[in-house]
Amino acid sequence: MPLGLSSVSLSLLDTARNNLRKVRALRETIQGARPDCVVSFTDKTNLQVLLSLLGKRIPTVVSERIDPTQRWIGAVLEGLRGLLYPTASVLVVQTERVAVWGKRVMRRKPVIVIPNPALRRPVSGEAAGCTVPPGSRLIVGMGRLTHQKGFDLLLRAFAKVAHESPGWSVVILGEGEARAQLESLADELAIGKRVSFPGQLTHPEALLRQAEIFVLPSRFEGFPNALLEAMAQGCAVISADCPSGPAEIVVSGQNGLLVPPQDVAKLAEALSSLMGDEGTRKRLGRSAVDVLERYSLERCIDLWEGALHQAVYSHVH
């Protein structure tokens, strides 16, 4: 049930008032619902929920969806997180790396690692809305067009090796504030005619199935769903070994390739290697689909059920 509390804050005083209003509304709504357990996602919402539940003996699970060591939310909110997170029953994170941070923050409270599930959606038709040169061999990237996702690094790497393989093109799916910058960069690097930005596709799995290489060039991640989706479709993947997530998904040389984060030269080297070696692409693609078993929906549901049980059990005893 939406609470309709979104508003624009024009000053620090507005921010304080709006947050107080949200906390009061959350408190009243949660008390009225009389839940067995409350589950909250993302840092700022987690803080609002925990503030609203102060003094209430209601089991609460809070979940971080990105690496908090890579995302500064401001001194005040960082301080509040240190104070309020230990009042939650359980903290859920997506990777073992973030769990190390979580155990420091939660002190003696449980921290449980629950990754996102890998799902292989059926391919229905073609990738509507995406036009690539006929006969092109595709390198695909997918995600928000932001600095974090590092698509500028992919463009620079491709520009270094594009002359070696004239039949290859790059398609970057997604939208975001960096779109115009990325389009300009592609033109500056003289690869504009071989790079397309079709935006968000309703059925990206159709394009992933056509792709021969998928690249995740992120500067940092939480748990990269785009990487899982590409591997589930059998893509040969190259991922930056960024914090956090990729190194827990990809075993370099077995089911994909890992390269140092923000290293354009190493990314270009990996691209060149895979573009020139069909056998390795196919071998990595066949092995990539192991994510469907390692990160099955059933396994993730079991882990969430365990987290909820632990939260409720801790309040009973």
pLDDT tens digits, one per residue of 184-203 = 999 999 999 999 999 998 88
Give the pLDDT score at 8. Answer: 46
Q: What is the mean pLDDT of residues 1-8?
A: 54
d(CA 246, CA 227): 8
Mapped onto helix, strand or coil, the DSSP state of residue 50 is helix
Tokens of 224: 């990269």
Could you tell me the pTM of the whole model?
Answer: 0.86
- Residue count (the chain): 317
Tokens of 191: 């690869």
Give the pLDDT score at 10. Answer: 47
pLDDT tens digits, one per residue of 278-299 = 999 999 999 999 999 999 999 9
Do domains 12-117+297-316 and 137-294 share one topology? The answer is yes
Sign of the CA dihedral with 296 first, then 297, 301, and 302 last = negative
| Domain spanning 137-294: CATH 3.40.50.2000 | yes
Q: Where are the domains of the chain?
A: 12-117+297-316, 137-294
Q: pLDDT class for 222, splitting at 50, 70, 90? A: confident
pLDDT at 66 over 70: yes
d(CA 138, CA 126): 14
Quick one: DSSP state of residue 212?
Answer: S
Which CATH number fits the domain 12-117+297-316, given the four candidates 3.30.830.10, 3.10.20.30, 3.30.70.2190, 3.40.50.2000?
3.40.50.2000
